[in-house]
Structure 1
Amino acid sequence: MTPSDQPDRPRTGGARSGAPGPGGPRRVHVSVGDRVLADAVSDLEAAGLEVDEVLDVIGVVTGRAAEDTIERMSRVRGVTVEPEADVQLPPPDAPVQ
């Protein structure tokens, strides 16, 4: 699928936290294996994924989903769902641990 074949998807800019707010959705990355990307996106949306971006060249979909939705999405054929993890680095002047 080329970008011109792909339905318009909202695009995001800037980094966001992967941790959910109180009761809020969590950022996820979904790798699509051996199936048509557009079909997988449709199935993921039906499972409840709020799609932010479709990276068709590398077969990855990013978006937001509640915890129960992540569980449903993991049952979609041919995909691997990875919730985004928060990483916090110490300040530059912190002692080495």
Structure 2
Amino acid sequence: MTEPSRPAPVGVILAVDPDRFAEVADALRRAGLTVTGEQPVLGTLSGTVAGDRIPALQAVDGVVSVDLERIVQLPPPDSPIQ
């Protein structure tokens, strides 16, 4: 019998209540977030989570927004298109 496949992790950026930053960050970790960056003064976190866990992150009290991380690739400096 094979195990069900897990959804691939996705990068997310979260805005949270800066006055409750530590409390909200702990709750997000319990909800499945692997934190890769914290900016407590700004009230933002970045991390990875299984794609199907995003609604659980959004439901955490103190979370203002959850955005998918976007990667932008710029052309090399010597490229004709700038």
Normalised by the length of structure 2, the TM-score is 0.73
Instruction: Determine what percentage of the aligned residue pairs are the same residue.
Output: 34
Structure with bigger gyration radius: 2
RMSD: 2.2
Whole-angstrom distance in 1 between the partners of 2:58 and 2:39: 19
Give the residue type in structure 2 aligned to 1:52.
T
Q: 5+ unaligned residues in a row in structure 2: which ranges?
A: 1-6
Whole-angstrom distance in 2 between the partners of 1:47 and 1:58: 21
Which position in structure 1 is the counterpart of 2:4?
none
Which position in structure 1 is the counterpart of 2:49?
65
Q: Which has the higher strand share?
A: 2
Which position in structure 2 is the counterpart of 1:30?
14
Q: 5+ unaligned residues in a row in structure 1: which ranges?
A: 1-22
> Are 1:45 and 2:35 matched, yes or no?
no
Which position in structure 2 is the counterpart of 1:93?
80
Contact 2:13 2:45 in 1 (8 A): yes
Give the residue type in structure 2 aligned to 1:40.
V
Which position in structure 2 is the counterpart of 1:10?
none
Normalised by the length of structure 1, the TM-score is 0.63
Structure 1 segments, 4+ long, off by >6 Å, are: none
- SS of residue paired to 2:55: helix
